[in-house]
Structure 1
Amino acid sequence: MASLRPIRRNGKVIEVIASCVDITERKKAEQELERTKKLLESIIDDSADGICIIDTGGNVLRVNHSFEMLYGWSENELVGRQLPIVPLEMEDEFKSITQEIQGDMLAKTFETVRQNKAGELVHVSITLSPIKNGYGEIIALTGITRDISERIKSEEFFRKADKLNVVGQLAAGLAHEIRNPLTSLKGFLQLMKESDKRRVEHCEIMLSEVDRMNSIINELLIFSKPQPKVLKRNDIGALLYSVINLLEAQATMNGVQVYIEIHGDLPPICCSEVDIKQVFVNVLKNAIEATPNGGKIHIVAFEQLNELIIRIKDEGIGIPTDSIHRLGEPFYTTKEQGTGLGLMMCYKIIHDHKGNLSIRSAVNQGTTVDIKLPVTD
């Protein structure tokens, strides 16, 4: 940049002083600033999210095209006005958020509801950020708005679908759990039909099974208002012997021999007797069904590292290695007829008792199920 200054004497110009200043860097800075400005304007204008800039008083300074499309107001209708998108009942909340941002000078993201020009409510996600001047003072706020209405609809759809799924699982689970005692009853009745003797212990077991079905139905009736289960100190050996007697008829009909071994005087465990017996019934019944050509099932109970371990091992057909990790998923089963819900319930019951259930298996070599339960203090 050059400037000329004349020097006069007696009204006449006798010389001219010229001065030059190199403004190359300033021009470069101005050009860079202009490029940055255009870039920012392009980002704002082309953004798929609605962008609005308001001053510290809440008046609109600028909105982009996406904001216009989302809410229905044009930029000319909004500039200089207070934002009309906040429902009356949420104005205090919005003021509180803007004051919070101006106080701690940090951006804030939240999900809320806003109102468009037609008076319709729109579910949105908003990020409010402070705009500062060179002195670090907040001079405006920028809001980036994303329409999340479709996501909210999808979540609501899946919530309803989950409820329907729960109903389906409940129905299938009811059929599965009641089928177990019915199978036992059928087995004992067949034995009694083939024998002239009427064993009192068989009748007692059948009555016990009827009581178990009644217990399951009662639990379903109070499903909408679940109550804490009554936990009592129980002898694990007594529970196992009870379950073995329960499934004796089914094992006999399948040519399966069940052996049980209790190591030492095991301490009691604090548990729900009905639930733990349900786990043992399901696991032992699966072992019997997995041994269709007859064989042996070994049950061992022992204490290790302050845990009771109940190991049930069969000599059945086994489970493919690539299927083991899926055991316990609802409706996944390796049996021709089954829902997978029984084992899923077993996992849940043992988890609720702060225990662990693990399965090891190999095709044609059998399956081993380890149930670990904490020892009662």
Structure 2
Amino acid sequence: MILELSLESVFALVDIFFVGKLGQNAIASVGLTESVITIVYSIAIGLSTGAGAVVARRIGEKNADGAAHAGAQSLIIAFIISAVLTVTGMIYAGDILGLMGASKEVVADGAIFTRIMFGGSLVIILIFLINGIFRGAGNAAMAMKSLWIASLTNIILCPILIHFFGLKGAAMATVTGRTSGVIYQCYHLIKGNGIVKFTASHFNFDSPVIKTIIKIAWPATLQFIISSGSWIVVARLVAETGGTAASAGYQVAIRNVVFFILPAWGLSNAAATLLGQNLGAKEIDRAEKSVMITAKYNAIFMGIVMVVFLLFSSPIINIFTKDVAVVKFGVQALQIFGSAYIFYGIGMVMTQALNGAGDTKTPTWINFVCFWLIQIPLAYYLSEKLDMKATGAFISIPIAETLLALAAWYYFKKGKWKEVKI
């Protein structure tokens, strides 16, 4: 799972590495688009969480057919949602960038990139969702392999398509890469020999199962929309108070943050799977122990990353851009974000563990309080009222993430997740 999510983060770094050669407007276009499209990621992750929790519980109960049926029903939901997202994103691409505070030049250059990325909403959702099904079944290696294929395809195509088509070539490479991964996933779900294998009967509309998945998935989706929405607000604040250079520097820093957060998220997903399967097998103590062990190792990993960010932020940012103004903001953002990295790791494990148990409402409330009642007001206050500009917005992030980790730890230790039935 760590390798799987590391490969997912490669998408972000590959795009920004090659797009960085096209200048500030291109970097800002990609970054602002990614900030908005995290809403699509949120829905994908929410569905993945719901499907993964049900699949893991059924596998723990030794009910492989029930696991496959739940996975197939989640795909039906995904097709319906992605149709709405695709049409909306493709029609209003330019307006979306404008709402994010992008300049007219950025909108003019970047609308086509945004349009193509939203056009690929289905494959974004499917690659997350199907990997969630594989993880819930304990087949994390298959999820990893699908992202190997997707990432390698993107790495090969990105410089080629950017050379011939400019900025939109980066979007074309990303969508094509994810599509190749989804094709690989679908082949193994239908023709493979894994524990979960789909048949035509599994796709017969099953209202109770769909309701169960949605019951778990909608708070998880809202949970990630709340967190990604707060990042959108911060990205807009940075663009408004710091200009294009600050926005570009922020986006380069965020890509590096994501690169190291996603492996930690992979470890967190492992905790969710272990917890879900052990709950299905009625091994409550083992479920709790697996989460605590995972939290310890995630804290160690994120502590090492924190030191790297604090000491080597300048050479890291310089890999992606040589623009002096962009580097200045990027270095500052990376150091500030990295200052609380240990807490990020602990918070991720605890929230994912609660999600894996099917208790998606508790992390949703925690996210709402920490991001919307604390981070966003704090970002506005520091950046505008205290006139700290982009720096103030940067500072709000580690503060909110630290509070989230402490709250998630508290609610996990309370143990109400042990009583959730799905």
TM-score bucket (shorter structure)? under 0.3
TM-score of the aligned structures, taking structure 2 as reference length:
0.20
Structure that is richer in strand per residue: 1
TM-score of the aligned structures, taking structure 1 as reference length:
0.22
Considering Cα pairs closer than 8 Å and 6+ residues apart, tell me whether 1 or 2 has the greater RCO: 2
Q: Greater Rg, structure 1 or structure 2?
A: 1
